Structure 1
Amino acid sequence: MIRPVAVIGAGPFGLSTAAHLRARGIPVRVFGDPMVSWRDHMPEGMLLKSTPVASSFDCPQPGHTLGDYCDAAGIRRLVTDEDIIPAETFIGYGEWFQEKLVPGLERVRVVSVDRDKSGAFELKLDSGELFTARAVVVATGLSGLEHLPAELAGAAPDGPAPTAPLSHSSQHHDLSRFAGKDLIVIGAGQSALETAALAAEAGARVRVVARGRGRVAFGAPPWKQPRLRPESPFGRAWSLWALSYYADPYRFLPEQTRHYLVRRVLGPLGAWWLRERFEGTVQVTDVARVAGAEAPDGRPVLTVRTHGGRSERLTADHVIAATGYRVDIAAMDFLGHELRTRLAVSRGAPRLGAGYVSSVPGLYFTGLPAASSFGPVMRFVCGTEFASPRLAKHLAAAHG
């Protein structure tokens, strides 16, 4: 009996990888709840920052783009750079893609992954099933990678939570709970700015606390993009074009450079269409840094350092930390201890070789955990176009 490949995760990268493996005739079992991060961990009313051309899952078969889904669902076709994608439409697209190309998806959780004596992988599911796979693809997206800076931990000693004085932006779907309340959102990226705008529209009094001088920044609208530079899914720029389509050499850059580019390319920056909803509605406080946080009486208090060197205290009814995500193999506790200790890592992220394979033969990573090896394109859905065919080709050659 041929052992299958296990794909853990049913978001854009997991579904795209599975579609490529199935097209090659490779037996595959896919585990997860389709589009769960988008459905349960994004605020209601959210719009995608990416353009339609950058928002399709890659697959070998034609007819499965976001535009094709719009046609099938009988909704307005989203194709131009000025078309803005509602999260609900994108979630529907992901579920449609899964039904068409990954019909055997198993909605169970992988509890553990270990190596057996033969070198194969033994997986345990929360259904109680044990089975062996010849290779494993980790495509768990942002799950478990929420980052809370140490200086904020004092306001949530038991961890961030919607019912605590401080939470992470991934923990909110319905922001109407803050109607009539004072809310602080920490961050200057799209997540922070859109969360703040949506909360203000739901009736909250919102202040964004961001590091930097001057007001928060927004991208240029499509009609103001430079025309004499090559197109990429992220805009017109030579650097963005190279990072999008020629990501293979990225892993040979110095470690410090790789991690810096993953953090800084295209961020922190709000979408062009958000500016009008944000400005004049949300108060912005620029600070040199957030020095600490506490909640002595159940209400959060931030201590910030101003650009002039002063210390100030900011109070609110609740604080949302839109502080992003950080890849850390240690947080992927479904990977057995021996596997985690054998993985070569770079600042917590797996070091990957050609074809997205880790230092443990047969163990692959795609999506955000691959960004430190293949660049910022792995932070975005359009990264499936680069990652999925290469991963499937390598896996087929190595385990055919």
Structure 2
Amino acid sequence: MYDLLVVGAGPYGLSIASHAAAAGLNVRVFGRPMASWRDHMPRGMFLKSEPWASNLSDPRGRLRLDVYCAGQGVRARHGEPIPVGMFAEYGLWFARHGAPGVDERTVARIGTVPGGFEAVTEDGETLHARTVALAVGVMPFTEIPAALGGLGPSLVSHSSDHGDLARFAGRDVTVIGGGQAALETAALLAEQGTRVRVLARADRLNWNDVPPPWERPWWRAARSPHSGLGPGWRNWFYAERPGVFRRLPERTRAGVAATALGPAGAWWVRDRVEPAVEVLLGHEVTAAEAAGDGVRLRTLSRTGERGALETGHVIAATGFRPARERLALLADEMRDGLAEAPDGSPRVGRDFESSVPGLFLAGLVTAAGFGPAMRFVHGASFTAGTLVRGVRRRLRTGTGGGRIPAPADRSDEAASAPAAR
């Protein structure tokens, strides 16, 4: 029986596992390492965040992205984006050197039992743990507008569905959204010969500025400090003080999490979009229907003008909604027992523990509690250390109902767990 079962092996899951193993916990990690980055982002994409703000977290702070890059003969520089493929390889390197061995199977179901939790893997193995940390990333929370509902994946997909955009070469594609995912996807499509347009509700596109130099006069730094979410005091607060952010009134937190750092394109993608991509601003899709081999979109402008356009495929780069009901791997009664924040996400306490004792949450699903940093890799460091302290506190106090005896046919389960290193 395990002290902690970590479900998910992305930046948050691997960071939590590293801190848990260093704390002496008997921990098991499940999931395909860096799956979102390896399987759901096309080749040619770059990290939007700065390299120094994109570290996974080990307790000693030695397994940073710049250390990995240096080992590959690459210098991670402020103001120079890192390819997503290199970041994914960094995560695999971190998993090898900083976390206990990762079991790449998927956990299909988690339920409560007296004293803890029972998890069932995709191939039917049952495991028990006193605590669980869900670090499932963003993929369970993909959001596609209701107007596009009813059309199959050959006509409509989410931007995160594509690890390769080659299938769209020579075709006509409409990308819906005005943020980084929409704009970088459109740029990649245009660069491979796809006829592509971006359709967005906003009246204009927002572009992030080139970041100020790392070294600058003290008075400029004091006016607009660097932070893991961009320059400025407001971003610094979100990035560097999530524990203080949690003390704000709940509705204030939820409102900030939903609106702060809204849709914007990175400065380095702007020159790839503006000359090559048609942009239709101030338009919202109200309905969609199959038309021949493609899709007919019905649109409504901000001025009330109705229109229509036909396209071969629609890619919805419309973000993610971390709603409680989308945690489908939790048993129904367990999921229904999660208290909700005002935005419909699960409510978490000061140590990332949910209202189900012993169930901890990490990543995007905790943004309403700890702020916008939880939407980015940068939040993994604060989360890992804080969450593992909460797990240790929970293990000391118990989850109620006593300990779970090891199943008779798996009495060697703990002994055979991968050793922490």
Same fold at TM > 0.5: yes
Short-chain TM bin: over 0.9
Query: Aligned partner of 1:217: which letter?
Result: N
Q: Distance in 2 between matches of 1:249 and 1:88?
A: 34
Query: What stretches of structure 2 of length at least 5 have no aligned partner?
Result: 215-219, 397-421
1:135-182 CA-partner distances (Å, limit 9, x unpaired): 00000101221101112214x1x4xx2xx2111111112212222221
Which residue in the other structure is 1:126 paired with?
A: 122
- Asked whether the equivalents of residues 143 and 320 of structure 2 are also in contact (C-alpha less than 8 Å), the reply is yes
Matched, 1:236 2:225: no
Query: Aligned partner of 2:265: which letter?
Result: G
What SS does the corresponding residue of 2:366 show, helix, strand or coil?
helix
Which residue in the other structure is 2:403 paired with?
A: none
- Asked whether the equivalents of residues 10 and 32 of structure 1 are also in contact (C-alpha less than 8 Å), the reply is yes
1:324-378 CA-partner distances (Å, limit 9, x unpaired): 1111222221101111111101233110001100001100000011111111000
Which residue in the other structure is 1:191 paired with?
A: 181
What SS does the corresponding residue of 2:41 show, helix, strand or coil?
coil
State TM-score, norm by structure 2.
0.89
Query: Aligned partner of 2:211: which letter?
Result: P
What SS does the corresponding residue of 1:323 show, helix, strand or coil?
coil
Matched, 1:295 2:281: no
1:277-325 CA-partner distances (Å, limit 9, x unpaired): 1111101001242212111434111111112211010111111100111
Which residue in the other structure is 2:43 paired with?
A: 44
What SS does the corresponding residue of 1:97 show, helix, strand or coil?
helix
- Asked whether the equivalents of residues 371 and 378 of structure 1 are also in contact (C-alpha less than 8 Å), the reply is yes
1:57-94 CA-partner distances (Å, limit 9, x unpaired): 1111232000111122x22120x322210011100100
Mapping for residues 106-145 of structure 1, pairs under 5 Å: 106-116=103-113, 118-145=114-141
Query: Aligned partner of 1:8: which letter?
Result: V
Query: Aligned partner of 1:362: which letter?
Result: G
Cα displacement (A) at 1:224: 7.7
Q: Distance in 2 between matches of 1:394 and 1:144?
A: 25
Bigger mean CA deviation after superposition, 344-353 or 184-193: 344-353
What SS does the corresponding residue of 1:248 show, helix, strand or coil?
helix
Query: Aligned partner of 1:277: which letter?
Result: R
- Asked whether the equivalents of residues 250 and 375 of structure 1 are also in contact (C-alpha less than 8 Å), the reply is yes
Matched, 1:386 2:386: no
Query: Aligned partner of 1:326: which letter?
Result: R
Which residue in the other structure is 2:409 paired with?
A: none
State TM-score, norm by structure 1.
0.93
Q: 2:169 aligns with which of 166, 179, 202?
A: 179
- Asked whether the equivalents of residues 149 and 323 of structure 1 are also in contact (C-alpha less than 8 Å), the reply is yes
- Identity of matched residues, %: 42
- Asked whether the equivalents of residues 4 and 133 of structure 1 are also in contact (C-alpha less than 8 Å), the reply is yes
Q: Distance in 2 between matches of 1:20 and 1:295?
A: 50
Which residue in the other structure is 2:53 paired with?
A: 54
Which residue in the other structure is 1:95 paired with?
A: 92
- Asked whether the equivalents of residues 112 and 124 of structure 1 are also in contact (C-alpha less than 8 Å), the reply is yes
Q: Distance in 1 between matches of 2:393 and 2:164?
A: 46
- Asked whether the equivalents of residues 176 and 203 of structure 1 are also in contact (C-alpha less than 8 Å), the reply is no
- Asked whether the equivalents of residues 287 and 304 of structure 1 are also in contact (C-alpha less than 8 Å), the reply is no
Q: Distance in 1 between matches of 2:171 and 2:73?
A: 37
Matched, 1:201 2:187: no
Which residue in the other structure is 1:321 paired with?
A: 316
Which residue in the other structure is 1:343 paired with?
A: 338
Which residue in the other structure is 1:11 paired with?
A: 10
Query: Aligned partner of 2:395: which letter?
Result: H
Mapping for residues 150-161 of structure 1, pairs under 5 Å: 150-154=146-150, 156=151, 158=152, 161=153
Q: Distance in 2 between matches of 1:252 and 1:84?
A: 33
What SS does the corresponding residue of 1:4 show, helix, strand or coil?
strand
1:167-211 CA-partner distances (Å, limit 9, x unpaired): 111111221222222110000010000000000001011110011
